[in-house]
Amino acid sequence: MTAPVLLRGVDLAAFAVALVDRLRAGGVTVSAVGPATLVQAMRELAPADRARLYWTARLSLVTRVEDLPAFDAVFEAVFADAVIGLDPPGLKRSALASTVPSGTTTTAGPVSTGDLPWTTRPAVVSGATGTPDGAFLPDLAPSWLAGRTDEPFDRFDADELRQLGVWLENAQARWPHRRSLRRRRHPAGRRVDLRETIRASRTTGWEPLQVARTRARTDPRRVVLVCDVSGSMQPYAAVYLHLMRATALRRTGRRPEVFAFATRLTRLTAVLAHRSAELALARANEKVDDRYGGTRLAGSIGALLGGPHGHALRGAVVLIASDGWDSDPPELLRRVMVRLRRRAHLVVWLNPRAAAPGYVPLAGSMAAALPLCDQFLPAHTLTGLRAVFETIAGD
């Protein structure tokens, strides 16, 4: 049976054993069959959020009432910043007060009254890092990653990059939209749909008793990601490949397009859309046989503009991930970027080198392309990727 959505890609047996070991160290008495019971419960119930995981673990592992405070404390310590939505009745008011920093104001949900000491965790904490609903949030990162949101990706090892990529693919992000010329039925619309109103009046003796109204419709805007996989981008290529896979997996009505280039352009949309992350990345590495070599930035973008997929750039949000080092002349890149800027709706350049203190685009190609970009972002950390998604969503 496949793993639950919340624990996608996680070994359930190892997860259960680790959690039981942490609970026993925290003073909770767990029976010998506790891990097996928890694995069976997770397979049957498939917890999709943190609240369901709380109740699944509590009903499977806790057998004594006096162990509830210790269980709540261990669960909070383990999953404090794993996901949003925890609201177990076992969270005590004192524990909540200790987690809220001094000087912050909270907007709490309903708090139970009476003699019960339970309380609801605050829904909004003023001053905390966050964005509107559905945006890309570092607060949703796993516990091991929460303290490394500002650490450059080139300091992560291969296993950490793999875990980061799996989480990135499952992270929720708001998608850019554009206003369509078409309209949709809506009871609060301002425009009267005469055709539908007259058609509905056929059942009432041609007396229009109900007025049909419409409002403007929004459609998802296409996103095109072009990633540099040359030798100078090798420390960041793995993360950007996962970002490319996360882009290719989006089902937004308009299929995103993903391309990689070093000395030539390669389309990876179909390859990265495979359900297996390991197989998708392995096939992508096989297909991009010129990776970690030289760079022909201008030639690759020009090939995209003139190729069969150039129409995908019209009205799209284009992400170019490159450090700007190019063997082609800067004048050629400037001409190509002028064509791209006319065709695309938004051009965002991701350059991890831009995060260095006192960075100046001394490379000729980067200096030529920079004036033609709408946004120039480093995207070298988790916080940097958050800024990318905020830029896309707020376009």
φ and ψ at 216, to 5 degrees? Answer: -60, 145
The mean pLDDT value for 358-383 works out to 87
pLDDT score, position 394: 67
Which of the four pLDDT bands, split at 50, 70 and 90, describes residue 395? low
Contacts of residue 393, defined as CB under 8 A and 6 or more positions apart, other chains included, come to 134, 135, 136, 173, 174, 175, 176
- Residue 124, pLDDT > 70, answer no
104 pLDDT higher than 50: no
The residue behind tokens 């003023």 is 126
Collect all residues with Cβ–Cβ distance below 8 Å to 218 and sequence separation of at least 6.
177, 178, 179, 180
Looking at mean pLDDT, say which of 123-132, 291-300, 347-356 comes out highest.
347-356
**pLDDT per residue over 244-280, tens digit each?**
776 666 655 567 888 988 888 999 888 887 777 678 7
Comparison of pLDDT for 145 and 210, the residue scoring more: 210
Place of tokens 């390669």: 266
Given this model, what pLDDT does residue 342 score? 93
Contact 287, 271 (CB under 8 A): yes
For residue 301, what pLDDT is reported? Answer: 93
237: which residues sit within 8 A by CB, 6+ positions away?
A: 227, 228, 229, 291, 292
pLDDT of residue 143: 65
Look over the chain and give the mean of its residue pLDDT values, rounded to a whole number: 75
* φ/ψ bin of 253: left (φ > 0), alpha (ψ from -120 to 50), beta (otherwise): left
274 neighbors 248 (Cβ within 8 angstroms): no
Contact 118, 112 (CB under 8 A): yes
Amino acid at 171: A
**Which among 135, 318, 341 is positioned nearest to 222, based on CA atoms?**
318
Residue 173: the pLDDT is 59
Cβ 75 vs Cβ 31: under 8 Å = no
Read off the pLDDT of each residue in 65-84 and give the average, rounded to a whole number. Answer: 78
Count of beta carbons in the 10 Å neighbourhood of residue 260: 29
pLDDT range class, residue 1, cuts 50, 70, 90:
very low
pLDDT at position 250, please? 60
166-211 tens-digit pLDDT:
777 666 556 677 777 788 888 888 888 888 888 888 888 888 888 8
Largest CA distance in the chain: 77
- Pairing assessment for the beta strands 346-350 and 317-321 based on DSSP bridges: parallel
Q: Considering only CA atoms, which of 381, 349, 345 is closest in space to residue 363? A: 349
Query: Of 319, 188, 162, 299, which Cα lies nearest the Cα of 242?
Result: 162
| Contact (CB, 8 A) for 372 and 365 | no
Output the pLDDT for position 184. Answer: 83
> Residue 90 above 80 pLDDT?
no
Where is pLDDT greater, at 159 or 309? 309
- Specify the pLDDT at position 344: 92
Under the banding of pLDDT at 50, 70 and 90, the label for residue 101 is very low
Pairwise pLDDT comparison (220 vs 103), residue with the higher score = 220
Residue of higher predicted confidence among 71 and 385: 71
Question: Rounded to a whole number, what is the distance in angstroms from the first to the last CA of the chain?
Answer: 40
> Could you identify the residue written with the tokens 């007259």?
198
| Average pLDDT of the residues in 132-160 | 64
Contacting residues for 10 by C-beta, under 8 A, at least 6 apart: 3
Q: What is the pLDDT of residue 218?
A: 80
pLDDT the model gives residue 338: 94
Q: Which of 160-169, 214-223, 237-246 has the highest mean pLDDT?
A: 214-223
Res 52 pLDDT > 90: no
**Structural domains present in the chain:** 12-139 (no CATH), 181-219 (no CATH), 221-393 (3.40.50.410)
